[in-house]
Amino acid sequence: MSPADLPPSAADLRSLVDLAGDAALDDLLRRGLDWVARLAPYDLATIFTLHDQALVVRAARGRLAGKVREHSLELADFPSLREALETRRARAFTEDDHRHGDGDPFDGVLDLPPGHACMVVPLHAAGRSLGVMTLDRTTCETYSQPVVELVETYGQILGLALENAEQRLTLEQLRQQEQQHARVLDAEVEVHGVLERSHSPAIQALAARARQVAVTDTPVLILGETGTGKERLARAIHRWSPRADRPFVALNCAAIPPSLLESELFGHSKGAFTGATQARPGRFQMAHGGTLLLDEIGELSVDVQAKLLRVLQEGTLDPVGSDRSVKVNVRILAATHVDLEQAIAERRFREDLYYRLHVFPLRLPPLRERLVDLPQLCAAMLAEQSQRTGRAGMRVSDAGLARLRQHAWPGNLRELANALERATIVTPGRVLGPESFEFAVRTASPAGQVSEPASAEGPQLTLDQAQAQHIRRALQRTHGRIYGPGGAAELLAVKPSTLQSKMKKLGIGRA
């Protein structure tokens, strides 16, 4: 027996599984079918992938392959294929099978003789049917049972490789979405004041400390009021780190319903809960090799905190509904506006998790403490917004800056961006003076306490404007949190889904 006739070695099988992470799926299937030829000779080997109740040819090899490239089947019309998927057992067909019309997948496409050799092998992994592999020969003989069993075992390996490839493709799609989101936010980092350009001594000192910790894998806890730019600082730390060419993944823990948060973090297997129709990687797996930002970490439930602590300590996680641990290599950044020490005293946050994260805290000052940066911030924000508003060359006059300095800025940089965009829309010229800003002037005491508006009278609002204002105030009071006790939905006495729908209609973000 020549080496080409030998079954694939253990090393071959390992490389087939590894290929799922490094090469295109079509190349994986081609190589897999080439290896099958060492176990069972064929004139046609085909991989059908399952899509709902249809089987579609994904790959074909052999001298007859060119005739079946775009072939597809309705599963209901082929009991033999359906049986293979349900029983997960390979089967060789006999002359009697053909005589009684069990159904040949290639009837009308290939002119194969009655009694020709054929085999159906199910492909499955992680409890999910992925499709079938079929082998056909024009000779009138039957594959022997030992060969069928050997190919069935090999089909399990091929199914695993196919599952790994699909998971990698899913991860890549999710990462591309994150990268697209990152490009938008990277622009915002520039817009909202690059740290090095700040004239504020507090920001300059913060930038220096952030650069120091960026080159390590030390966890960083970013503290600050809502809208101060915590995610932007996290992205800057990632860009300054050795992981800069790896994924940056962010998760706002306050924006995910508590019932789905564990799955969002750690992923889930198929059937783990109602609606889990397929396995899905979590944010930790998406960030493997890179950086994961857990924004608003103070909103995590105590149960999820315990599972997060295990991941930080051991570097492994258990997807929801899975009995297999997954190893991950992720640098953790956490951000919150919550007083975590008070949350610990109230038993809402684990003390051991706090000390695991509180290795290198960075506190972002609120905008009212860095008003010296207002001219640079306004210029950068207006330049970025010109792409949306079509109003290039806008600037804030000295009198306009003076009015902005009188405001308390409870929403910080996010509120400033919104104020500038509104002013740009309503101002006919290119200079934004004090009359361009619609908010009532508020003053801030040295301790940061906000006084009543200096002028309460304003233009009559439309119903949509009044609703939008009411919703924004609720979001401001809850720091952007919609779900759960004390969330904006509860505050407004509406369902969270209703509130989100209204926010989308009115163009409201979690400011």
Q: DSSP readout, 232-301?
A: HHHHHHHHTSTTTTS-EEEEETTSS-HHHHHHHHH-B-TTSSTT--S-B--HHHHTTTSEEEEETGGGS-
Segment 438-458 shows an average pLDDT of 45
Segment 101-130, tens digit of pLDDT: 566 788 778 888 877 889 999 998 877 888
Instruction: Provide the pLDDT confidence category of residue 100 given band limits of 50, 70 and 90.
Output: low
Residue 485 zone, left/alpha/beta (φ > 0; ψ -120 to 50; rest): beta
Is the per-residue pLDDT at 16 higher than 70? no
Is the per-residue pLDDT at 190 higher than 70? no
More confident residue, 444 or 152: 152
Instruction: Provide the pLDDT confidence category of residue 433 given band limits of 50, 70 and 90.
Output: very high
Burial 56-77 (b: 16+ CB within 10 A, else e): ebbbbbbebbeebeebebebee
Q: Report pLDDT for 495.
A: 79
Q: Report pLDDT for 116.
A: 85
- The residues, ordered by sequence, that sit 6+ positions from 406 with a Cβ below 8 Å of its Cβ are 441, 442, 443
Segment 19-30 shows an average pLDDT of 63
Dist CA 273 CA 315 (whole Å) = 25
CB–CB of 155/90 below 8 Å? yes
Please give the single-letter amino acid code of residue 448.
G
Instruction: Provide the pLDDT confidence category of residue 452 given band limits of 50, 70 and 90.
Output: very low
Scan for tokens 């690059």, then name that residue: 194
Segment 268-273 shows an average pLDDT of 72
Instruction: Provide the pLDDT confidence category of residue 182 given band limits of 50, 70 and 90.
Output: low
Q: Report pLDDT for 218.
A: 95
Whole-number average pLDDT of the chain: 81
Segment 206-244, tens digit of pLDDT: 999 999 999 999 999 999 998 888 988 999 999 999 999
Segment 269-295 shows an average pLDDT of 82
Segment 314-325, tens digit of pLDDT: 999 888 887 788
More confident residue, 388 or 293: 293
Instruction: Provide the pLDDT confidence category of residue 177 given band limits of 50, 70 and 90.
Output: low
| Tokens of residue 111, six digits | 């002119």
Minimum mean pLDDT range among 296-305, 349-358, 457-466:
457-466
Segment 374-419, tens digit of pLDDT: 998 998 889 888 888 888 899 999 999 999 999 989 999 989 999 9
Q: Report pLDDT for 96.
A: 66
Cβ atoms within 10 Å of 188's Cβ, excluding its own: 18
Q: Report pLDDT for 403.
A: 93
Segment 183-211 shows an average pLDDT of 68
Q: Report pLDDT for 390.
A: 87
Tell me which DSSP letter residue 450 carries.
B
Is the per-residue pLDDT at 427 higher than 80? yes
Q: How far apart are the first and last CA of the chain?
A: 72
Is the per-residue pLDDT at 13 higher than 60? no
Instruction: Provide the pLDDT confidence category of residue 462 given band limits of 50, 70 and 90.
Output: confident
CA 419 to each of CA 182, 188, 230, 400: distance values in angstroms, whole numbers, following the listed order: 24, 16, 20, 12
Dist CA 361 CA 11 (whole Å) = 47
